[in-house]
């Protein structure tokens, strides 16, 4: 009898966990669909994560970048959540709500700025390497094209 009760409790717990996860995913999808800033942060975050595993930056930096992307998206979700809540009660406390919304937006902006700075510190050498290679390749191509034009004129 006790074994059956434990199984039943375990099934109920699993159902609750699945429902919580489903609700959480629905919340993320709602924010994604309704908030442009979240979509922008999401796609930039995906680009950063892809770059983190493309370049040989090391595991610690990869973990740091994953953490920064997660924190940025969480900051954006929290900002959106509080903005929606404040919009519901704004008529009564208009001046105070505007002040709080500005503070929340400032927190999300600081997170974005410092994430970008850390990303540039980590990816800067690789970006510079690609830029220099591209410039050199451009000079080579232009030089070759000029050489071929000169060679063509002579023949």
∠149-151-153 over CA atoms, to 5°? 70
| Structure confidence at residue 122 (pLDDT) | 92
Whether 91 is in a domain gets the answer yes
Whether 79 is in a domain gets the answer yes
| More confident: 48 or 154 | 48
Instruction: Provide the domain count of the chain.
Output: 1
Res. 3: pLDDT tops 90: no
Whether 42 is in a domain gets the answer yes
Per-residue burial over 81-113, b = 16 or more CB atoms within 10 Å of its CB, e = otherwise: ebbeebeeebeeeeeebeeebeebeeebeebbe
pLDDT digits (tens, 9 = 90+) for 52-84: 999 899 999 999 999 999 999 999 999 999 988
Whether 81 is in a domain gets the answer yes
Whether 48 is in a domain gets the answer yes
Whether 26 is in a domain gets the answer no
- The position carrying tokens 């919340």 is 27
pLDDT digits (tens, 9 = 90+) for 109-147: 999 999 999 999 999 898 888 888 888 888 888 877 777
CA distance 101 to 96: 9
Q: 41: domain range?
A: 35-154
| Structure confidence at residue 138 (pLDDT) | 82
* pTM of the full structure: 0.70
Whether 16 is in a domain gets the answer no
The answer to whether 63 and 80 have CB atoms below 8 angstroms apart is no
Whether 17 is in a domain gets the answer no
CATH number at residue 105: 1.10.287.3610
DSSP at 90: T
């Amino acid at each position: 009898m006790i074994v059956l009760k434990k199984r039943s409790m375990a099934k109920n717990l699993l159902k609750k966990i699945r429902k919580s996860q489903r609700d959480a995913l629905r919340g993320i999808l709602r924010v994604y669909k309704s908030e442009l800033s979240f979509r922008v942060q999401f796609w930039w975050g995906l680009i950063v994560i892809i770059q983190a595993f493309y370049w040989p930056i090391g595991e610690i930096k990869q973990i740091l970048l994953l953490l920064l992307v997660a924190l940025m998206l969480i900051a954006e979700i929290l900002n959106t959540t509080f903005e929606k809540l404040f919009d519901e009660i704004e008529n009564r406390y208009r001046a105070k709500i505007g002040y709080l919304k500005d503070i929340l937006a400032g927190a999300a902006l600081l997170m974005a700025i410092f994430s970008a700075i850390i990303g540039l510190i980590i990816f800067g050498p690789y970006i510079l390497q690609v830029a220099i290679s591209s410039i050199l390749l451009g000079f080579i191509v232009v030089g070759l094209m000029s050489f071929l034009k000169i060679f063509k004129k002579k023949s």
